[in-house]
């Protein structure tokens, strides 16, 4: 008889406290958004580019992580192959 359902649904889904700092700022080596861990980079990649296949990689010039789109990586690979073939004319 005294069933009271308390719902704590006042918290808006998707609301992220601004204080939470995800990115570590700009990378000192290449100026990209940098993350202190692979996990953080992946999380932000999913948030910023939902539906896109993003991959994260460790920065060669610093100890941070960056994100890039898999498509861009593939395109770069294809262009590299084309450039390799174009030498002999
Ligand atoms: Zn970097």
For the record, the structure tokens of 59 come out as 């920065």
Q: What pLDDT score was predicted for residue 19?
A: 47
Q: What is the pLDDT along the chain (89 residues), one digit of tens a residue?
A: 556 666 655 665 555 555 445 567 899 999 999 999 999 999 999 999 998 889 999 999 999 999 998 776 677 787 888 888 865 56
Q: What is the DSSP letter of 87?
A: G
Residue 48 Cα to ligand 1 middle (Å)? 19
Distance in Å, CA 67 to ligand 1 centroid: 10
Helix (H, G, I), strand (E, B) or coil at 73: helix
* CA 87–ligand 1 middle distance (angstroms): 31
**Beta bridge pairs of residue 65:** 35, 58
- Tell me how far the alpha carbon of residue 37 lies from the centroid of ligand 1, in angstroms: 13
- Among 22, 31, 21, 23, smallest CA distance to 59 is for 31
Ligand 1 center from residue 65 Cα (angstroms): 7
């Amino acid at each position: 008889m005294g069933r009271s359902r308390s719902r704590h649904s006042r918290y808006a889904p998707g609301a992220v406290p601004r204080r939470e700092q995800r990115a570590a700022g700009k990378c000192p080596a290449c100026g990209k958004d940098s993350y202190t861990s692979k996990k953080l980079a992946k999380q932000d990649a999913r948030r910023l580019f939902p539906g896109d296949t993003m991959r994260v990689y460790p920065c060669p010039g610093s100890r941070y992580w960056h994100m890039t789109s898999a498509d861009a990586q593939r395109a770069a690979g294809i262009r590299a192959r084309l450039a390799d073939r174009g030498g002999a004319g």
